[in-house]
Each structure stands twice: as structure tokens, then as C-alpha cells.
Structure 1
């Protein structure tokens, strides 16, 4: 069962990484890709050129990138990692018992006793 679950997590991670590597653009409600002006066209005086509707004329534009899907994929990758660690017992606390010279006994959870020396 653990092997099957790990394989499922591997598949999910593979799909999430595919989403992370894609560029996602903003699309309006009517299905058009949103653009932003990166440079305006200038007239002979160096002023921004204005069209007949009173809007500045673009010289260069680029698609607006939507980071939402990338962030959601990153969160899914982190969640899959947590699930894998839980499933494989990698996050299980380590119980370490250390005796103090004065006879006081401490129990430290999640610390390697060798790291205390």
C-alpha cells in the first residue's frame, strides 16, 4: 500500500512540476489574452502618441503573466512532500533520553543525542 501511495505522489509531483514550468497568461472573461504596454509610441516631439479614442498608442506590448497557477502548483508540491514524509515516517520525532550528572533525567523529543554532546 505504501508503494502504491508513493507512486501516486510521484505522479502528482510530476504533474505539478509540469504546471510550474508553464507560463500562464491572464485571460479576460471574453477569452482574450491580456496585454500590458511596455513601451509607448512617440510622436516627432518625443511625446506619447495618442490615438483617435484618446488612448496612448503602444509600441511594444507583452502578455500579462498569471502567477496564481504556479503558486498553487508550488503549494501542491509542498503538500505532496509533507504527505510523502508522513507516509514514510520521515517526520516521526526521535525520542532521546539524556541523563544529567546530578541525577536529573530529561527526555528530549526530536533531537539527536549525539548532537547534544
Structure 2
């Protein structure tokens, strides 16, 4: 057999399609095989090597990964629904914040509108600024929900210098 054969034994050695983040994309055949392997493993509680041999995985670690993928697949619809619900709630809150941002707010003191020298109500930017901050926090939550944030990278250069105060360096030798 060559590395290009479509047999399960050689599957892991073939070039597989990748997504935009350079991660492997699972085919429907893999999803089915992983689900069958997970069901068999749950029923028989055999070794991962036995799963690999029975279902055509390259080795026991690939069998383990397949079973883990099947577990994620089972939870995926519930997680997707939860994310959708959360996103809808965040969208509604964001629209409310935008409505507040777009309104005209006037300064009120002791229950009365405050007017300027020109006779027009004085604008109050406080509610608008609070709504902007709220909208930004909602966007932050939306980004967290969908995993859009990149982890912060911290670079450190240089070394650490220790200084012992009150001790003569000659006494240390």
C-alpha cells in the first residue's frame, strides 16, 4: 500500500484539509468513525490500542483523540445553542446601549431642565458616555463568547540583578 491509499490504516499519513486557522478539518467519515469508536469503547471498556486496531486508527493515541473528538461532538449542539442564546441577549443589550447613545440628553437639576444663556437646554454627555462604556463592555463579552480575543504576549528582556544590602560581598566568599 502507498501513503495515498484511502484505507483507514493510512488515513493519518494523507494530506488532510485545513481551516483558516491551519487546523485539520474532520470529514464526515472521521466523525462517524470517532462516534462508533466512542460507543464501542463505552460499551466494552477496552484499551485504546484495541480501538485503534478495530477502527483503523494509526495508533492508540489517535484512537484516544478520536474518542475525545466524539465527546466534543456530543456536547457541541448544546454549546452552540448556548452561545447563540448568549449572543442574542448581548445583541439586544447592545442595541439598547446604542439607542441611549443616539438620544439627546439634557442637564436636569432638582427636577428641572437647565437652560443655557441662549435659552436652549444644556446638553448632558454623562448618559451618552456611560452608554458608550456599556456598549464597549458588551462588545468585550461578545468577543469572549466567540473566542475572538488574542492572548496577550509578554516579552521580557534583560536579566535580574540581586543586591544584598548590609552584607559585605567579601564575606560571602
Q: What's the TM-score bracket when you normalise by the shorter of the two chains?
A: 0.5 to 0.7
Q: Is 1:89 the counterpart of 2:147 in the alignment? A: yes
Whichever structure has more strand as a proportion of its residues is 1
**Counterpart among 116, 120, 129 of residue 36 in structure 1:** 116
Per the normalisation by structure 1, the TM-score is 0.58
Which secondary structure state, in structure 2, belongs to the residue aligned with residue 83 of structure 1? helix
Higher Cα Rg: structure 1 or 2?
2
Cα distance in 2 for partners of 1:20, 1:63 equals: 18
- In terms of fraction of residues, the more helix-rich structure is 2
RMSD: 1.7
Q: Displacement, 1:28?
A: 1.4
Residue 91 (structure 1) shift: 0.4
Matched, 1:23 2:111: no
What TM-score do you get using the length of structure 2 for normalisation? 0.40
* Unaligned 5+ runs, structure 1: 39-60, 95-108, 111-117
Structure 2: distance between partners of 1:93 and 1:23: 38
CA distance in 2, matches of 1:32, 1:93: 49
Q: Which residue of 1 aligns with 2:4?
A: none
* Deviation beyond 2 Å, 4+ runs, structure 1: none
